[in-house]
Structure 1
Amino acid sequence: MAHDLFRRRPGSDRDGTLAPTLGGRLGPFLRPGWARTDAARRAAAALLVLVAVVMVVRDGREDSGDPVVVAAHDLTPGRVLTPDDLRTVDRRGAEVPGSAVRGLDAVVGRTVASPVRGGEILTDVRLLGPRLAEAAAGTADARVVPVRLSDAGLADLIREGDRVDVLTVGAARDTDASRPPTATVLASGATVVLVTPEQPSAARRDRVVMLALAAPDASAVAAASLTDAITVTLH
C-alpha cells in the first residue's frame, strides 16, 4: 500500500502537479473526422463572407459613378432646353457613352435635335451643333442650314434622319412665260436633323427644316433660300 501511495501517477511530475501528456498533446489531431470537417467548413464560410464584404466595399468605391446629364422628362425635337428639362445623376462608367454631357451649363439653352426619353443620358448628337452636323453629313466641315420649304406640306412627311436632295424652283428667266418653272439641284444627300414642330393655328408660322450639309453645299442652299423657293425630294 505504501508503495502504491508513493507511486507517481501517470502524467504527474515529481511535485504532484499535472503535466501535459502525450495523449493530451495529440488530442486535437485525434478528434473524429466529422469534427475536423465541421471546423473546416466554418472557417471556409467565414472566409467567403469576408471576401464578399471586401468586394462589395471595393466595387462601391470604384463604381460609385460619375455625374452625367439626363432628361428629366420626354423631350421633343426643337425644344430649347431649360434647367427644368434636365437633371444630373451618377452613372457607372460602363453605362455612360463617350459623348455624354457632363454638366448642365453645357446644354441649357441648346436645341434638341431628336426625341429624347425621360432618364436618357444626353449626348452631343442629340443637340444641334457641330458634332451633330459632322455625324449626320459624314464630313468634318459639315454645317446645319435652316430652310423653309415652298410646299409646307412636305414638312409633315419628312423626319429626322431622312436623306433628301435640295432644289430651287425659280420662274423661267427667258421671254417665254409659258414655260414651266425650272428646278436646279443645289445639293444631294442632305440629312434632315430637325423639323420644327407644328405651331398652334393662332400663332402658325412656316415650319423650319434643318439640313446637315458639307460646307460648300450649305453655303449654296443658304444663299438660295434668301431669294428662291426651296423644295426637297426624298431618297
Structure 2
Amino acid sequence: MPYEPAPPGPRRPNVTHRNLSPSWADRLSEFAHPGWGRTVIVRRILAAGLTALAVLLLVRGNPDFDRSPVVVAVRDLEPGRALTDEDVDLAEWESGTLPEGVVTAVADVAGRTLAGPVRAGEPLTDVRVLGPRLAAVAADVEDARIVPIRLADPAVTELLREGDRVDVLTVDSQTPVNPDRQPGATVLATRAAVVLVTPSANGRDQRERVVMLALPAPEAITVAAASLTNAITVTFH
C-alpha cells in the first residue's frame, strides 16, 4: 500500500503577544503610529486646549496692543515754529510702541516752539519743544534754563546746529589785559548746548537770528544778563 501523508491540521492564528514590559522605544513607536481612535482623541484635546487659551487671552487682553491717544504732526514742520491746532492732531497708537515722554494732549504743545524738524505723522515728545524737559536733557542737569542770545558775528550763527556744544564769551572793551590795549575776553559759560537756531526767513536781517542755549541755571542767568549790554560770541567744542 503506497504511503500517504497525513492531511494538515487547522492553521493556528498568528497571535502577537504584547510585551508586558515595553521599552521606551516601543512606547514611542506606539505614540508615533496611533490608531484612528487615539488620533481623534488627541485632536479633540488639542482643540479644547487651544480654545481655552484663546478665551484666556481674550479675557486678559494684551497690553502691547492697547491703544492710546498721542499728539502727532499733521504735516512736515520746521524748527522754530510755534505750534497751533492746525499743526497737530490726536492719533491712536499701540501703547507698546510709544516713545518715552510722548505728549497726549494738544493743549500741552499749543503755542510751544519746536526745537527741531518733525515729519508728518510723527508723535511729539516733551523734548521736541522748548521747555524744562528739553533744557534738563540738553544741559544734562535738572536745574537748567534755555537762554536766547544774538551773536555779534552773524556768520557764526550760520555755522551753528542743534546739538552743538559751545563756550559763551563776551568782550569787555573797558578792561585792557595787555600792553597792546586789546580788550579781554570773559568766559561766561562752558559746554552750553545749542537747542535751536531760528531759521533765516526771507527778508530777515541775519543779525536778528536767535540762538537758544541750554545751560545750568546760574550760568544761564549770567549769559542772559551779559547779552543785554555786551557783545556775545561762542567757541565750538
Q: What band does the TM-score fall into relative to the shorter chain? A: 0.7 to 0.9
Cα deviations across residues 207-227 of structure 1 (Å, max 9, x unaligned)?
100011111111111111111
The residue number in structure 2 matching 1:232 is: 234
1:6-17 alignment, distance < 5 Å: none
Q: Equivalences for 1:51-66 in 2 at 5 Å?
A: 51-52=53-54, 55=57, 58-59=60-61, 63-66=65-68
CA contact (8 A) 2:175 2:184 kept: no
Name the residue aligned to 2:103. 101
Are residue 123 (structure 1) and residue 125 (structure 2) matched?
Answer: yes
C-alpha root-mean-square deviation of aligned residues, in Å?
Answer: 2.6
Superposed CA deviations along residues 42-77 of structure 1, whole A, max 9, x for unmatched, are 553365256346535753788331111122222221
Counterpart of 1:76?
78
Q: Secondary structure at the match of 2:61?
A: helix
- Pick the aligned partner of 2:87 from 85, 88, 92: 85
- In structure 2, what is the equivalent of residue 155 of structure 1? 157
CA distance in 2, matches of 1:73, 1:177: 59
Moved over 4 A (4+): none
Aligned to 1:183: 185
Equivalent residues, number: 202
Identity over aligned pairs, percent: 54
- CA deviation vs aligned residue, 1:105-135 (integer Å, no higher than 9, x gap): 1101100112222222211111101111111
Partner of 2:14: none
Distance 1:61 1:209, change over 3 A: closer
Contact (CA 8 Å) 1:143, 1:213: kept in 2 or not?
Answer: yes
The answer (yes or no) to whether the contact 1:168–1:184 under 8 Å persists in 2 is yes
- Cα drift, residue 40 of structure 1: 3.7
Contact 1:64–1:90, Cα closer than 8 Å, also in 2: no
Which structure features the higher share of helix residues?
1
Q: Distance in 2 between matches of 1:54 and 1:225?
A: 65
TM-score (norm 2): 0.75
Q: Secondary structure at the match of 1:182?
A: strand
Unaligned runs of 5+ in 2: 1-33
TM-superposed deviation, 1:193? 0.8
Q: Match for residue 137 of structure 2?
A: 135
**Distance of aligned partners of 1:187 and 1:60 in 2 relative to their CA distance in 1, 3 Å threshold:** closer
Contact in 2 for aligned 1:69/1:121 (Cα 8 Å):
yes
- How far apart, in 2, do the equivalents of 1:132 and 1:77 lie? 14
Q: Is the 8 A contact 1:172 1:180 kept in 2?
A: no
2:212 to 200, 210, 216: 210
TM-score normalised to structure 1 length: 0.76
Task: Name 1:15's counterpart in structure 2.
Answer: none
